[in-house]
A = this chain, B = another copy of it.
Amino acid sequence: MAFNSFGHRLVLTTFGESHGPAIGGVLDGIPAGLSFDAPAVQRALDRRRPGQSALTTQRNEPDRFELLSGVFQGKTLGTPIAWLIRNHDAKSEDYDALAGVFRPGHADQAWQHKYGIRDHRGGGRSSARETAVRVAAGAIASMLLRNAGIQVTAYTAAIGDISLNREWHQVAPDLIEASPVRCPDAPTAARMQGLIEAARAAGDSLGGSIVCVCRGIPPGLGEPIYGKLQAWLAYGLLTIPASKGFEMIDGFANAGKRGSETNHFRDGISGGITTGDPLVFRVAFKPVSSISRAQPSVEGESAAPLEITGRHDPCVIPRAVPVVEAMAALVLADFYLLAKTNDH
């Protein structure tokens, strides 16, 4: 019922508007006594932060992780871990022209209708900037997962109409960060990069998809009926802005096959519960809605064409890769802790 919170036993609560003083989070449920790796959190934020490469928005946010609680002498206390990320380069004036209009494809109108008020600057609370807090939380959850031998790795599988032509088990994880698009195949990555640059030049944007592979997962995570792991993963992943589809690999393709072909297919989950095999899923993202070519606002065709001058990514996929990893890590860590209560 608190929809700024996420999880059951490991619960992330986030707060903050894109152009307010700060965004931040509280992660409740990390057990006591875990070594806390603050630089790992900062590295994760650096992978998501704007301005990291020529492909992303030029809003320049250092996104510095400021730890407030939950850690003492380098160890977690079992108390809530809270942190801030101050907003620095918030050019609110970019948005002044938008105070009275709704950007097409954005949540502006839905939000205004629901609340009768909104912080129009950069989307306010509905800005994807909120995902920085998730990335920090995911990095903390990953400290717990790594202790348990679990690794979560996501990569760009498609941008626009260019798809990586490899199965997940053919991918070398150490190639992911080799290109700014985070596609672990150099020639494909180069073509994707060209496509993004062309979209930016044209004032347009691109969608795409991300594949996430989770290895080292013990059997038995997930709960029957309404606790099925794939259902909670789908929920978690589809809370990411611009996400529009989720499949356990290859759910949509396998739907066209016969049981005799797919019965030994393994996606890491059976009956909602992990089998011990790698768990692999894919998330689809729509093209970002902020495009700089003139377009009608949603207020009506007769309105003057709207030019959006805020700084935006032409394609969110590269920066969404660490967000996908974060949400997967949060779900897995939550169900990892929940599984401990099955014994008596």
Contact = CB atoms under 8 A, between A and B. Distances in A.
Interface of A: 1-9, 11, 13-17, 20-24, 26, 28-29, 31-34, 67-70, 72, 75-82, 84, 104-111, 113-119, 124-126, 130, 144, 147, 158, 160-161, 199, 204-209, 219-220, 222-228, 230-232, 234-239, 241, 243-248, 251-252, 254-265, 267, 270-275, 284-289, 291, 293, 295, 337-344
Contacts of A207: 254-259, 262
Given A209-B252, A340-B343, 17 more contacts: A2-B28, A3-B223, A15-B26, A17-B69, A32-B342, A77-B119, A104-B264, A105-B264, A107-B271, A109-B270, A205-B259, A207-B262, A225-B239, A230-B238, A231-B239, A244-B251, A247-B284
A238 B244 contact: no
B107 A160 contact: no
B230 A232 contact: no
A17 B204 CA distance: 48
B110 A32 contact: no
A287 to B, nearest CB: 4
Contacts of A110: 219-220, 222, 270-275
B78 A342 contact: yes
A284 B2 contact: no
Contact of A289 (B21, B231, B259): B259
A179 to B, nearest CB: 19
A13 B75 contact: no
B31 A107 contact: no
A89 to B, nearest CB: 18
A209 B103 CA distance: 33
Contacts of A147: 344
Contact of A11 (B1, B72, B247): B1
B80 A144 contact: no
Contacts of A205: 258-260
B6 A226 contact: yes
21 contacts: A1-B9, A5-B13, A14-B225, A15-B68, A23-B69, A69-B125, A78-B342, A110-B220, A114-B220, A204-B258, A204-B260, A207-B259, A207-B262, A209-B255, A230-B244, A244-B251, A244-B254, A247-B252, A251-B286, A259-B287, A260-B293
A9 to B, nearest CB: 5
Given A32-B115, A82-B15, A238-B228, A68 B344 contact: no
Contacts of A246: 234, 238, 245-247
A117 B32 contact: yes
